[in-house]
Amino acid sequence: MATIVVHRKWEAVSPTRQRVMGLVELGSALIMLLVFTLKVQPGQMATFVMTPGGLTQGIAGNWVVPAFSTLMALTVVNFLLGMVQLVRGFGRWTNAVLGVVVAFFVFSFLTWATAGKSLNLLGMLSAAVLLAVPIILGAFSGVLCERAGVVNIAIEGMMLMAAMVGALVGSVTKNMWMGLLAAVASSVLLAWVHAVLSIKYKINQIISGTVINIFSTGMTSYLSSKFLQTYQELNNPPIFPRVPIPLLADIPILGPLFFNTNLFVYLVFLLLIILQVALFTTRWGLRLRSVGEHPKAADTLGINVFATRYMAVLLGGVVAGIGGAFFTLGSVGRFDEMMTAGKGFIGLAAMIFGNWTPLGAFFAGLLFGFTDSVATKLTILGTGIPIQFMAMAPYITTMVVLAGLVGRGQMPAADGTPYEKE
Amino acid sequence: MPPVLELKGITKRFPGVLANDHIDLTLNEGEILALLGENGAGKSTLMNILYGLYQPDEGEVFIRGEKITIHSPIDAIRAGIGMVHQHFMLIPVFTVTENIMLGAESVRMGDFLDRPAAAARIREISSRYGLEVDPNAYVRDLPVGVQQRVEIIKLLYREANILIFDEPTAVLTPQEADELFVIMRELARQGKSIIFITHKLREVLDVADRIMVIRRGAVVGETVPAQADRQTLAAMMVGREVRLEVEKRIARAGDVVLEVHDLVVTDAQKQITVDGVSFDVRAGEILGVAGVQGNGQTELVEAVTGLRQPVSGSIRLLGQDVTRATPREIIELGTAHVPEDRQRDGLVLSFPVAENIVLCTYYKPPFARGVQLQREIIYETANRLIADFDIRTPSASTTVGSLSGGNQQKVIIAREFSRPIHLLVASQPTRGLDVGSIEYIHQRIVQKRDEGCAVLLVSPELDEVMELSDRIAVMYRGKIVAIVPAESATKSYIGLLMAGVSPEQAGAPQEGERIVESTF
Amino acid sequence: MSKPENKPDVGKVFLEEVTRPPVNERVRGWQRVGRVLLVPALAVVTGLLLGAVLIILTSESVWEAFRVSLGSGLVTAWNTIVQAYTALFTGALGDPVRIVQAFQSGDALEIRRALNPIPESLVNATPYIFAGLAVALGFRSGLFNIGVEGQLFMGAAAATYVGYAVKGLPGFIHMPLAFLAGALGGAVWGFIPGWLKAKTGGHEVINTIMMNWIAFRLTEWLLGGPMTRPGSGGLPISPMIEKTAEIPQFFPAPIRFHLGFFIALGMAWLVHWLLFKTTWGFDLRTVGANPNAARYAGMNITRNIILAMTLSGALAGMAGANQILAVNRSMALGLSPGYGFDSIALALLGNSTPVGVILSSLLFGALRNGATRMELLRIPNDIVSIIQALILVFVAAPAIIRTIYRVKVPKEAEEAVFVGSWGGGNK
């Protein structure tokens, strides 16, 4: 039943959250002071290499900073931000400020670890972008489905299947495009199963997703041990090469990161723009969102709820398929069992963190990619932290995000609810 | 000229129910036809058939003499039929323009929304029919009355000629309802034909040109307001003589049972919704809380029953401070709670009747010995209460979800009333029930009062509050604006208070103006 | 009105327990047992049929035969399937011919070998019972614990540690201690997502999956580092547990049938008693079926969510402890062929009742055991996961079964599982 709502602020930050965030931010400053700043020798320099290895375009000079003063400065800034957050809060900028604090924290971690040594920062960042690709695509897939009201935890399984089919077909045809196409087709097929089970048969969407994940794991392992491991030539697909974009690739720092890279990164950008624009400024987007918010209202206005949801889930399958293909055709060039390693679920967390918008999901995905890449790189620097603990970073970040420390947005009102036409 | 709309022999069966039994109906141009019937009589089913949401098993539909079939709302919209649903079909996070244009969007450059063009048309419709609304506002920020206007504009935007209003006044104050009637008459004057579904007799007599009464899925009579009165209509609707008033003696108020002082409560979004409320309820009296839904009643009830922590203020029950008590502590002090949404809060639909009956007491002897449930005793008790409270169920092990709404409510009543209680908190206890059940529940509440129980009754149905209460508290925007003795309260006075008019401006209620209405 | 007037025979009661709530009309007796078992049975059959199709499609020899002629293709396909499922069947239940021959030869070892498949299926079913109970308990409490796999790993790690590091205890203390340590390890791993769900609304589905990955990494580190076997050269494997910590096996090798099976049955009884006969279970089930009504009735939602996840984790931990103490005797990374994930399927197949879990565990244990025999035919045992996923589809969507077989299947009420909202805190 409708209720009167008078001037309600929906983006409001609760006092508790404001205080908790302030304390967390102050805590970060404290750790930075005690663990990083006071542990570096005065006069030590940290050298950051600003060109990824092996590139000849977009070269930038190394960045050498005095470790102690940099750390001190970052600590002070974080301390100040934390104080302001604690005392009066940043309102709608709270999440952005938290992002800055986290970025500074990570940077001081890097500075501390690099003090007296050298680190290829840009190499790390460009690795982060690549690691973020499947997460972002998973998140986009989630945005498409959930904006239409279908929870899709099968993204993981869809990506895994796409990764394997991409490798297999790519190897057989010796053509990466055929591989990509087949990968997308396999993912769409699974998306169709999810759609039929959850939209037509109205079975619990979480269960439907789990079924698909189990099926995918079983199927890929089965085919992999039956064929891919026996006949190595079936698991050796060509991979999409690095494609520099003329002129843009020559820009220092940005060029190597975004304009001299893999086709999949360009696809991510393309999809980001298309989805963001289409969801919020077109008739297609309005109808899709209406189905996820209030399917009955949409139905009474003559919008076909079922068809719209099918379309959204199938498109989600396309996007997840591209994300899955990236594992084999975009980076490794080989399929391994369970190689998606939870990226699909992390993508869902990125979607939630990004408030169910493509733009938000994009940045959240980059953040996850970044934690992953920091973790991998730091083991090389030899910080004494075991590699397995570093590898936990994205999972723990995901849980922190879900815990709502970083604030949760407004999820589509009818998300996860099957539509009953009575 | 053929009538605008004609239904012939519409029949619809649901498993076990004949919802519509060969219903014939005609609607003329510029006419307001009231479809009167109690909850569950089949009015909404008929209209959902007309709107393409259900398919009839038999029967034909003619628009201006032409036979059409309506498979979906698209067909209905195309035939010029529009419907204002009882539960608004609006998307809170969309703007007014987006809500109205959805499904009939203005677009440019292929598929891009042309919001300004749509907004311009909305403004034009607004001024033509006197339906003021800001096209750029978000629906979630609008009061209910304005939301309803958005719903009406939605129909006019699609150039509907046949407008169906399904229980449109359920969420309005009496004044807002009057405004709605003015709008309806204006629409009829400009040539729109209106079907007005309701179970409220006063409204029918006020606004309709013609009245059709439906009972148990069949048309039982047709009349015009000039030849009808409330008593005859009520009898037609229910099929027997009904008592329009609850028989009750003058209250003999005893000691204070519930004492609320300066209570402040926030909702889930941390907005203050109960803002410094003070009142008390005595043993043997019914304090009714009137107010349009969403003015803080829900949060007030939740605070009193321990479901929501107040921000400040105090609640005392039988002299004991329970401001920070848990729901169980409050229950154990002798509080019964009939929640406003029985299916969401009051029952576990997948559990059998017996388990629902012991939902608040299962852990205490005799239902449990230690941690072991005593199944035998639970079922014996359930069977006894099923008989006592006349719950129509195949057995105590039937799941509650398969019972009718009235019987579900009786399960709650049985559970709450069969315990020794000092305070009864009843939130919309008769929502969506048929007349028989309403009468029954009203009697039970009054009976509890007479036994010396303090009753806090919350209902957006002003009629119900006025009928049952000994004193009436009016809530507006989180505050209690006045507490009025029932014998001196009039409907218009309370209505003004509910709409936010201060007690001084509303003027003291005049003697002799008191009209008690039946709830249906 | 509808109290059970007379006690029907035990078998009927046993099977009726599988069909405990929610059933509306109380059709009693064998008719009802038949009606309720119809869907799972047809689901299993359909799953096996589709599995057969997959085996044919992925068999090189069938393709080659089809290249020769249609007839030889069909014959080869048929033979492949017969071979595969014969292997599955004899692997799971034993080969009658071999058993007869073994008895004729009178060789004790050969007799044990021939009889081994059935006890081995029970050995395979044991972790499934624990893990399936974990998922079922979660379902009944409205929680979807996909983290059973991780909880199982943590339980196994804890049991292993107590198993080899604690020395000098008598067996009747050491073994239960190690087993309880396993339960505790799993309980901790269940508690964390439970706490997060109750306190912050973070959805348990994603959180438990994240906890799985963290558990894998953590055990990898433990087994390669602090818990590594001396002299293993950094391979991720633990020392052997002490003899005193072992769960006893009943027969000489190769029969591994052990006490753990009966512990599992005991736990099933305990879970049944807890869920349906006690006030605690009433709390859990109410919170699971309708948290709003539970709160309204004065129950403590937070406590029950945490309790349910912790108990669920403890059961999962027992699955891990059982495998270490009774079967593997030391811990390595290949501990579980996916018990945690399979258990979701079997809990649903068993309608989330303890008796149902036992029955479907026996089925899945037999399948897993039989699948090892199929591997000899170059059919990877992942086929079992695929068949299980298919079974799960049909159990979850009985309408499909209804359409395929044109049978009347009673519409059961929906499982009490929370649907999709990610943010409990928001609602």
Map tokens 């311009």 to a residue: B120
Cβ contacts of A6 on chain B, cutoff 8 Å:
141, 143, 477
Question: Is the distance from CB of B448 to CB of B51 less than 8 angstroms?
Answer: no
Q: Is the pLDDT of residue C16 over 80?
A: no
Distance of CA B126 to the CA centre of its chain: 28
Q: What is the DSSP letter of C328?
A: I
Residues in contact with A230: Cβ distance below 8 Å, sequence separation at least 6, in sequence order: none
What per-residue confidence (pLDDT) applies to C346?
86
Paired tokens of A145: 């489905």
CA dist C331 to C324, C328, C359, Å? 6, 7, 28
C366 — phi, psi (to 5°)?
A: -65, -40
* Domain residue ranges in chain C: 118-362
Q: Where are the beta strands (DSSP E) in B226-329?
A: 256-266, 272-282, 286-290, 312-317, 320-321
Cα dist. A25→A18, A75, A97, A364, B472 in Å?
11, 10, 10, 19, 51
Distance from CA of B36 to the nearest CA of A (A): 21
Sign of CA dihedral A17, A22, A25, A31: negative
Q: Strand, helix or coil at B321? A: strand
Q: Please report the pLDDT score of residue A1 as a whole number.
A: 31
To the nearest whole Å, the CA of A402 is away from the closest chain B CA by: 19
Stretch A196-225: mean pLDDT: 89
Three-class DSSP category at A25: helix
For chain A, give the longest Cα–Cα distance.
74
Residue B307 Cα, gap to closest chain C Cα (Å): 7
Banded model confidence at residue A422, pLDDT cuts 50, 70, 90: low
* Tokens of residue A228, six digits: 């891919």
CATH class of segment(s) A123-402:
mainly alpha
Domains belonging to chain B, first-starting first, are 5-238 (3.40.50.300), 246-334+421-520 (3.40.50.300), 339-419 (no CATH)
**Three-state DSSP state, C159:** helix
Which residue in A9, A281, A302 is closest to B74 by CB distance? A302
Q: What was the pLDDT predicted at A192?
A: 96
Q: Which of B332, B360, B352, B345 is nearest to C283 (CA)?
A: B360
> What value does the mean pLDDT take over residues A157-180?
93
Kindly report, residue by residue over A285-339, the tens digit of the pLDDT.
Answer: 999 999 999 999 999 998 999 999 999 999 999 999 999 999 999 888 888 888 8
Q: How high is the pLDDT of residue C410?
A: 52
Contact of B125 with B131, CB cutoff 8 Å = yes
- C364, C388 Cβ separation under 8 angstroms: yes
Our CA-based measurement puts residue A51 at a distance from the nearest CA of chain C, in whole angstroms, of 32
**What is the least distance, in Å, from the CA of B406 to any CA of chain C?**
18
With contacts defined as CB-CB under 8 Å, which chain B residues touch C1? Answer: 383, 386, 394-396
Q: Give the pLDDT mean for C210-214.
A: 92
Q: Give the CB-side neighbour count of residue C44, counting CA atoms within 13 A.
A: 16
Residue C396 has pLDDT above 70, yes or no: yes
Residue contact B347–C280, C-beta within 8 A? no
Per the prediction, chain C carries an average pLDDT of 85
Which residues on chain A are in Cβ contact (under 8 Å) with B89? Answer: 294, 296-297, 300-301
Amino acid C426: pLDDT? 30
Contact yes or no for A152/A352 (Cβ under 8 A): no
Cβ atoms of C320 and C154 within 8 Å: the answer is yes
Residue type, B387: A
Determine which of A380-384, C88-92, C148-152, C303-307 has the lowest per-residue pLDDT on average.
A380-384
Spatial separation of the C-alpha atoms in residues A395 and A401, rounded to whole Å: 10
Nearest Cα to B360, choosing from B429, B425, B419?
A: B419
pLDDT tens string C240-256: 999 999 999 998 888 89
pLDDT, one tens digit for every residue, chain B (520 residues): 788 999 999 999 887 778 899 999 999 999 999 998 887 788 888 988 999 888 999 999 999 999 999 998 899 999 999 999 888 899 999 999 999 999 988 888 889 999 999 999 999 999 998 888 999 999 988 888 889 999 999 999 999 999 999 888 877 877 888 889 999 999 999 999 999 998 888 888 889 999 999 988 899 989 998 888 888 888 888 887 766 566 777 878 889 999 999 999 988 777 888 999 999 999 999 999 998 878 889 999 999 999 999 999 999 999 999 999 999 999 999 999 999 888 889 999 989 999 999 999 999 888 999 899 999 999 999 999 999 988 988 889 989 988 888 889 999 999 999 989 999 999 989 887 777 788 888 999 999 999 999 999 998 888 889 889 999 999 998 999 999 998 888 888 888 888 888 887 777 554 444 444 443 4
Whether residue B61 contacts residue B6, with contact meaning beta carbons closer than 8 Å, is answered with yes
Average pLDDT on A58-76 reads 86
Question: Residues A220, A226, A230, CA angle at the centre, nearest 5°?
Answer: 120
Banded model confidence at residue C25, pLDDT cuts 50, 70, 90:
very low
Q: A403 and chain B: CB distance < 8 Å anywhere? A: no
Cβ atoms of A132 and A314 closer than 8 Å: no
Q: Is C425's pLDDT higher than 80?
A: no
In a mutagenesis test of the C interface, which of B397, B399, B415 is the best target, namely the one with the most C β-carbons within 10 Å?
B397
Contact A300 B269 (CB under 8 A): no
Instruction: Report CA Rg, chain C.
Output: 23
CA B78 to chain centre: 31
- Selecting from C26, C279, C297 the residue whose C-beta is nearest the C-beta of B360 gives C297
The contact set of B with C (CB < 8 A) is 268, 305, 307, 326-329, 331-332, 337, 339, 344-352, 355, 359-360, 362-363, 368, 371-373, 375-376, 379, 383, 386, 394-399, 401-402
Residue of C nearest to B365 (CA): C279
On chain C, the residues whose CB falls within 8 A of the CB of A408 are 201, 422-423, 425-426
Determine contact: A242 vs chain B, CB below 8 A.
no
For chain B, the 3-state helix, strand and coil shares in percent, each to the nearest 5, are 35, 25, 40
The answer on pLDDT for C182 being more than 70 is yes
Site of tokens 């922590």: B309
Radius of gyration of chain B (CA): 24
Looking at chain B from residue 447 to 506, which residues have their Cβ under 8 Å from any Cβ of chain A? 477
**Which residue, among A388, A419, A420, would best test binding to C if mutated, counting the most C CBs under 10 Å from its CB?**
A388
Contacts of B486 (CB under 8 A, 6+ apart): B288, B466, B469, B470, B471, B472
Window 266-305 of C: residues touching A by CB (8 A cutoff) are: none
Beta strands at B5-14 and B17-27: parallel, antiparallel or unpaired: antiparallel
Q: What is the distance between the alpha carbons of residues C42 and B12, in angstroms, rounded to a whole number?
A: 35
Q: Establish whether the linkage from the previous residue to B509 is cis, with ω within 30° of 0.
A: no
Cα–Cα distance for residue pair C359/C118, rounded to 1 Å: 15
Pick the CATH number of C118-362 from 3.90.940, 1.25.40, 1.20.1460, 1.10.3470: 1.10.3470
- Give the residue-averaged pLDDT of C22-30: 49
- Each residue's pLDDT tens digit, C320-334: 999 999 999 999 988
Contact yes or no for B443/B259 (Cβ under 8 A): no
SS3 A81: helix
Q: Distance (Å) from the C-alpha of residue B424 to the closest C-alpha of chain C?
A: 14
Q: Enter the ipTM.
A: 0.82
**Rounded to an integer, what distance in angstroms lies between the CA atom of residue C389 and that of residue C330?**
30
Q: Are A155 and A208 in contact (CB under 8 A)?
A: no
- C79's CB contacts (< 8 A; 6+ apart) are none
Whether B290 contacts B243, CB under 8 Å: no
Q: B286-290 and B454-458 as β-strands: parallel, antiparallel, unpaired? A: parallel
Mean pLDDT of chain A: 85
Residue-level pLDDT at C233: 80
Q: Which residues of A378-404 are buried (b: 16+ CB within 10 A; e: fewer)?
A: bbeeeeeebebebbbbbbebbbbbbbb
Q: How far are the Cα atoms of A225, A317, C67, C69, C74 from residue C62, in angstroms, in the given order?
A: 18, 32, 9, 11, 8
Q: What is the mean pLDDT of residues C95-120?
A: 90
Q: Residue C9 pLDDT > 60, yes or no?
A: no
A4, A294, A301 ranked by CB distance to B143: nearest:
A4
What average pLDDT does this structure show over A179-205? 92
